Amino acid sequence: MGATDIHTGVATTHEVHHDEHHAHHHRETFITKYIFSQDHKTIGKQFLVTGIIWAIIGAFFSVMFRLQLAYPEQTFPILETVFGRWAKGGTIQPEFYYALVTMHGTVLVFFVLTAGLSGTFANLLIPLQVGARDMASPFLNMLSYWFFFMASVVMISSLFIQTGPASGGWTVYPPLSALGQASEGSKLGMDLWIASMSLFVVSSLLGGLNYITTILNMRTKGMSMTRLPLTIWALFFTAILGVLSFPVLLSGLILLLFDRNLGTSFYLSDIFVNGQILPNEGGSAILFQHLFWFLGHPEVYIIILPAMGMVSEVLAVNSRKPIFGYMAMLGSLFAITILAFVVWAHHMFVTGLNPLLGSIFVLLTLLIAVPSAIKVFNWLTTMWRGNIRFTPATLFAIGFVSLFISGGLTGIFLGNSTIDIHLHDTYFVVAHFHIVMGVSAMFGMFAGIYHWFPKMFGRYLNNTLGYIHFWVTLVGAYLIFWPMHYMGFAGVPRRYLDFRGWKSFNEFDDLNKMITIVSIIVFAVQLMFVFNFFYSIFKGRKVTKQNPWGATTLEWTTPIRPGHGNWEGEIPEVHRWAYDYGKDGREFIQQTEPISPNESKH
Amino acid sequence: MQTFFTIVILLLGFLITFQIAKASEYVAVLRGEEKSRKQTNKINAFMLLAFLVVGLIGVWYCNEELKGKVLDFPASDHGVDIDRMMWITLAITGIVFFITQIALFWFAFKYQESEKRKAYFYPHNNRLEVIWTVIPAIALTVLVGFGLYYWFRITGEAPKNSLVVEVTGSQFKWEYRYPGKDGVLGKKYYKQISEEKNNPLGQIWDDPANHDDVYVSGEPLHLVVNRPVKMVIGAKDVIHDVGLAHFRMKMDAVPGTPTTMWFTPKYTTRQMQELLDDPEFTYEISCDQMCGKGHYSMRGEIIVETQEEFDRWLASKKPKYFSVFPDKDPTPKADTTANKSVTAVSARMNSERME
């Protein structure tokens, strides 16, 4: 039982500050406690539950469109029953297919992997691991969730309108997304998409500002920046990425809104669409791509960085060893953050951009592979000569590393512009980003959920279901996405719903069927996980130890179910870094334990 | 009915799994957490190793099954460079892949929790960090070096003797225009596009360079083997992309922003049919940028032939200008028994049918 180090003695400004919060008693109603809660732990749970619901919806969409890909000639009457004219005759209509893939991407990238990942764990872990009673501004924090909720409502509403949701791909390039004449999904659905994303950006900014401020200003006594767990560093850099890049997306979307509704020509020029000559001249469709990808690329690091941080944590705790190379891990997080801002045009190699410009982006893109490689080697060395316990969290962390290796290496193909000429917009890209983001980052999220579920709810998730969840998803994900690389080499284009009219792309019918069947199984297992999640909140095995994983970090010095304000007495003082596992023959030494004079130095 | 039973089976399967899981939790508590944990550790450690072995076999098996479907050899000069680049990258990343994945799963198995061992407190080693920073950096520099060398070659100026052809994408078809004898594509302006006036590209007829331009649509684009072709690419409505998988080339078609790409086809269509033993083979253009509900059906065909065959084919085509202004057409119809007015009428009918 790890003792909470009660620091008595001289009152410092920190303590006085915290005492103010501690003595703060306000009357809580159901609404202020559970709905408009300003407690970071509750807000984290709100993000998580909303993220889980969106994940089911987004994954369900993928099962739908995979049915079309595997069985293009078959009709499924039940589809027409459920979706009406969108699936006339039991076949998914092209507009519907494109709406499904667009929403799948939008929902999973933003609502699940950004809000659901960062929103959950930044909120849950930052105050607990830095030693603060709550975020710097609990009120803005509460708003950040509710803006996310509003964004969700607007996005869902777009699914039910007559002309359907946005259907130009999650990247919504104009002129397709600007012109209602070019696509049904570019009518009202696109305006709703823009409105929803604008609310989402506000939510992210509110959250990000809070995370940065709390980490910089509200660390407890003794918690220097270099004693912070890597999870916090990762969340810190993630927030910086978001604060600097989301506004650029917003500006790009506002210009798009203007082009759509106010007759401007930011992105439009020389357009003859659907028999109509448009007056717009002088705009550049490529401008949108620059603005979009200026966020778009940092966005994928916003997604992966928290996962990386949590995996470092989970691997260290469960290997009973320090994370290998803390400073190198920190340095590589920093390098990734900086480089993330200057590689965006590798998504635009075939737009006709100036080749010299393209070459600069090739250089920077392949440069960013270096810190990523360093991280992989450090994780491997963390496990080397460890004493590893395979909790479900550990397994997901190991799976993360495997998938990150696979997905990251294929990025090296795409980052080289020469190869990208052939592979751009093919299934190779689909395979790459699904493995490295869709699966790897999800695994990081699962590792975090399994590891910190006891802290969130005072109960454990069922282990057996956890193991099944891991094994089926790992094997299934590789079965689904690994063969897609071959389709990419063959030049099979992405965003095609039917290959029957083609001679070149007809070789993969059996493969498509196999992939679809496996994806249905993987989807079913995720539903099982969701059941495990909600069931265990109420009926899971109760946590009886304050520090069930034997971890060193501060969140495990709070009571099993921490209340508002986290620590019942004073906030503990920190004396050491977060990774004293296996030091001097001791299993672990909590951060709150003072350095004893006979301890070895490292 | 099938769907109903599938769902029922899935639900039952799930219920059974859940009951087993709940039961095993009770068993674990009864047996004692330590002992249960040790056992599941052993099982999972073994499964991790098994996954590595099965996974590597799977990688090999997948390769066996699919390597034959990957478009064999490139059909253009640039394609050779691109494929070579892919092989070099595959070699380097492949080595890294096998080393790291094997290390990962082997360490997981070897260092599973054991009473006989304690974890080794090893927080950092700066020399190691330097080594595994420098080696990847060198490997990537090699890749960047090769890559940029080929990139500048591919994106450089097209050779002087290139065949020029304009490719225009629109929802959901491809239209082509050859510059004719003067080798110059006539000026066009999108506001002149008119289906009724028989001007699908918006050509400006005042520009004499337009008078010999040949418009082709609804049939394959013709190219000349071993002769570089420079494509001048544009789009009328939304962003499309001229995707040429066999040639390993692609370039976006952007409204308002013309783009170009050039390459040299190495094999005629007939040669490809022989080499691939596929009499049905034809080069295809695929649209490679999301462009609306017909994106998946936006298909074009390319025929690569000898210079003589190409010249014969092009000669059989009449410049668009003469379809719009048939009275300007100097050459009489081949069928000389028809009189001039009939010729004019049939010419107009022909061009109308092409719309």
pLDDT at B355: 40
- Which one of A184, A355, A389 has the shortest CB-CB distance to B152? A355
User: Do B145 and B222 share a domain, yes or no?
Assistant: no
Closest residue in chain B to residue A413, using alpha carbons only: B89
* DSSP H/E element including A144: helix A138-158
Contact criterion met (CB < 8 Å) for A495 and B295 = yes
Q: Of B123, B255, B145, B65, give the one whose Cα is nearest residue A259.
A: B255
Instruction: Report the C-alpha gap between A33 and A42 in whole angstroms.
Output: 8
| B123: confidence class by pLDDT, cuts 50, 70, 90 | very high
pLDDT of B350 strictly over 70: no
Token pair for A65: 């469109």
Alpha carbons A444 and A401: distance in angstroms, whole number: 9
Architecture of domain A33-588: Up-down Bundle (1.20)
Residue B332's pLDDT is what?
64
For range A343-354, the mean pLDDT: 96
- Contacting residues of B for A493, CB less than 8 Å apart: 243, 286-288, 296
CATH number at residue B268: 2.60.40.420
- Whether B184 and B291 map to the same domain: the answer is yes
- Predicted local distance difference test score (pLDDT) of residue A26: 62
Instruction: Please list every residue in chain A whose beta carbon sits closer than 8 Å to the beta carbon of residue B292.
Output: 98, 168, 176, 182-183
Q: Which residues of B265-276 are buried (b: 16+ CB within 10 A; e: fewer)?
A: bbbbbbbbeeee
Residues of chain B in contact with residue A324, where contact means CB-CB under 8 angstroms, are: 122-125
B88 assigned to some structural domain? yes
Please give the residue range of the domain that contains residue B66: 30-115+135-156
Tell me the residue type at A327: M
Q: Please indicate, yes or no, if residue B104 is contained in any of the structural domains.
A: yes
B103: in domain: yes
Q: Work out the percent of chain A whose per-residue pLDDT is above 70.
A: 95
Sequence-distant (6+) residues with CB within 8 A of B72 are B276
CB-based contact A285:A259 (threshold 8 Å): no
Distance (Å, rounded) from C-alpha B27 to C-alpha B48? 24
**pLDDT exceeds cutoff 60 at A20:** no
Based on the fold, state whether residues B173 and B313 are members of the same structural domain.
Answer: yes
DSSP state at residue B290: -
- Give the gap in angstroms from C-alpha A212 to the nearest C-alpha of chain B: 27
Same structural domain for residues B250 and B225?
Answer: yes
Contact A475 B296 (CB under 8 A): no
Residue A6 scores a pLDDT above 90: no
Q: Are residues B178 and B278 in the same domain?
A: yes
pLDDT in tens, A287-340: 999 999 999 999 999 999 999 999 999 999 999 999 999 999 999 999 999 999
pLDDT value at position B351? Answer: 46
Q: Does any CB of chain A come closer than 8 Å to the CB of residue B280?
A: yes
DSSP string spanning A512-533? HHHHHHHHHHHHHHHHHHHHHH
Q: What percent of chain A has pLDDT over 90?
A: 88
pLDDT score, position A29: 82
Q: How confident is the model at residue B352 (pLDDT cuts 50, 70, 90)?
A: very low
List of chain A residues whose C-beta atoms are within 8 Å of the C-beta of residue B129: 325, 328, 374
Instruction: Write the pLDDT tens digit of every residue in B132-187.
Output: 999 999 999 999 999 999 999 999 999 999 999 999 999 999 999 999 999 999 99
Quickly state the pLDDT bin for B199 (edges 50, 70, 90): very high
Same domain, B190 and B261: yes
Q: What is the pLDDT of residues B281-302, one digit of tens each?
A: 999 999 999 999 999 999 999 9
- Under the banding of pLDDT at 50, 70 and 90, the label for residue A10 is very low
CB B327 within 8 A of CB B349: no
Distance CA B52, CA B56 (A): 6
Q: A326 and B124: CB-CB below 8 Å?
A: yes
B319 and B332 assigned to the same domain: no
Cβ distance of B69 and A507 shorter than 8 Å: yes
pLDDT of A602 reads 64
Q: Check whether residue B330 and residue B283 sit in a common domain.
A: no
| Distance from the Cα of residue A48 to its chain's centroid | 11
* Cα A303 → chain centroid: 4
pLDDT in tens, A159-177: 999 999 999 999 999 999 9
Residue B279 has pLDDT above 90, yes or no: yes
Evaluate whether residue B89 is within a structural domain. yes
Given the DSSP bridges, would you call strands B240-244 and B283-287 parallel, antiparallel or unpaired?
antiparallel
**Amino acid in position B72:** D
Query: Is B114 touching A (CB cutoff 8 A)?
Result: yes
Query: Does A409 contact B97 at a Cβ distance shorter than 8 Å?
Result: yes
pLDDT of residue B33: 79
Q: What is the mean pLDDT of residues A488-507?
A: 93
Q: What is the pLDDT of residue A557?
A: 95
Return the percent helix, strand and coil in chain B, to nearest 5.
50, 20, 30
Q: What secondary structure letter does DSSP report for A320? A: T
Q: Is B5 among the domain residues?
A: no
Query: B304 and B194 in one domain?
Result: yes
Cβ contacts (< 8 Å) between A528 and chain B: which residues?
A: 14, 17-18
Instruction: Tell me which chain A residues have a C-beta less than 8 angstroms from the C-beta of B355.
Output: none
Quick: pLDDT tens for A97-148. 999 999 999 999 999 999 999 999 999 999 999 999 999 999 999 999 999 9
In this predicted structure, which of A48-57, A89-98, A99-108 has the lowest mean pLDDT?
A89-98
Query: Pick from A294, A301, A373: which is nearest to A117 by CA?
Result: A301
Residue A12 has pLDDT above 50, yes or no: no
CA torsion sign for A204, A207, A213, A215 is negative
Kindly state whether residue B7 falls inside one of the protein's structural domains: no
CB contact under 8 A, A462 and B122: no
Judging contacts by C-beta atoms under 8 Å, the chain A residues touching residue B151 are: 355, 358-359, 362, 417-418
A31: confidence class by pLDDT, cuts 50, 70, 90: confident
Q: Which residues in B lie closer than 8 A to residue A271 (C-beta atoms)?
A: 190, 236-237, 255-256
Question: Which tokens in the block code for residue B76?
Answer: 């253009």
What whole-number percentage of chain B has pLDDT above 70?
Answer: 93
C-alpha to C-alpha distance for A303 and A562, rounded to whole angstroms: 28
What value, to the nearest 5°, has the Cα angle with vertex A241 and ends A240 and A242? 90
Listed residue (A473, A593, A590, A471) closest to A527, CA to CA = A473
- Taking an 8 Å cut-off on Cβ atoms, the answer to whether B148 and A359 are in contact is yes
Q: What is the pLDDT of residue B22?
A: 87
Residues A363-370, mean pLDDT to the nearest whole number: 94
Helix (H) or strand (E) holding A350: none
Flag whether residue B105 sits within 8 Å of chain A, measured between CB atoms. yes
- For residue A73, the tally of other CB atoms under 10 A from its CB is 7
Can the peptide bond before residue A175 be classed as cis, meaning omega within 30 degrees of 0?
A: yes
Q: Give residues with Cβ within 8 angstroms of B322, minimum separation 6.
A: B328, B329, B347
| Best residue of A353, A418, A492 to probe chain B, by most B CBs closer than 10 Å | A418
Please report residues of A whose CB lies closer than 8 A to that of B93: 409-410, 412-413
Flag whether residue B273 sits within 8 Å of chain A, measured between CB atoms: no
Residue-averaged pLDDT of chain A: 93
Give the integer Cα–Cα distance in Å for A375 and A333.
9
Taking only residues 304 to 363 of chain A, the set having a beta carbon closer than 8 angstroms to any beta carbon of chain B reads 319-322, 324-328, 350-352, 355, 358-359, 362-363
Per-residue pLDDT at A28: 75
Residues B269 and B298 in one domain: yes
Residue B4 within a domain = no
Q: How far, CA to CA in Å, does A359 sit from each of A254, A342, B144, B336?
A: 30, 12, 9, 59
- B311 shares its domain with B330: no
Give the per-residue pLDDT at A599: 82
pLDDT for position A27: 67
How do residues A397-449 score in pLDDT, each as one tens digit?
999 999 999 999 999 999 999 999 999 999 999 999 999 999 999 999 999 99
The Cβ-side half-sphere exposure at A570, using a 13 Å CA radius, reads 18
Of B85, B107, B154, nearest to A383 by CB-CB distance is B107
pTM over 0.90: yes
Cβ of residue A550 closer than 8 Å to a chain B Cβ: no
Q: Is residue B11 part of a domain?
A: no
Q: Where are the domains of chain A?
A: 33-588
A94 touches chain B (CB under 8 A): yes
Average pLDDT over residues B115-139: 93
- Average pLDDT over chain B, rounded to an integer: 91
pLDDT bin (cut points 50, 70, 90) of residue A14 is very low
Task: Reduce the secondary structure of A55-94 to three states and give it as a string.
Answer: HHHHHHHHHHHHHHHHCCCCCCHHHHHHHHHHHHHHCCCH
Q: Do the Cβ atoms of B239 and B289 come closer than 8 Å?
A: yes
Give residue B342's pLDDT. 47
pLDDT of residue A465: 95
pLDDT, average across residues B256-273: 96
Q: What is d(CA A512, CA A73) in angstroms, rounded to the nearest whole number?
A: 13
Say how many Å lie between the first and final Cα of chain A, rounded.
26
**In this complex, which of B112, B120, B132 lies closest to A321 when CB atoms are compared?**
B120
In this complex, the residue of B112, B292, B297 whose CB is nearest that of residue A182 is: B292
Residues of B in contact with A383 (CB under 8 A): 104, 107-108, 111
Terminal Cα-to-Cα distance of chain B (whole angstroms): 48
Is B293 in CB contact (< 8 Å) with chain A? yes
Residue B233 DSSP SS3 = strand
The answer to whether A599 and A335 are in contact (CB under 8 A) is no
Query: How many domains does the structure of chain B reveal?
Result: 3
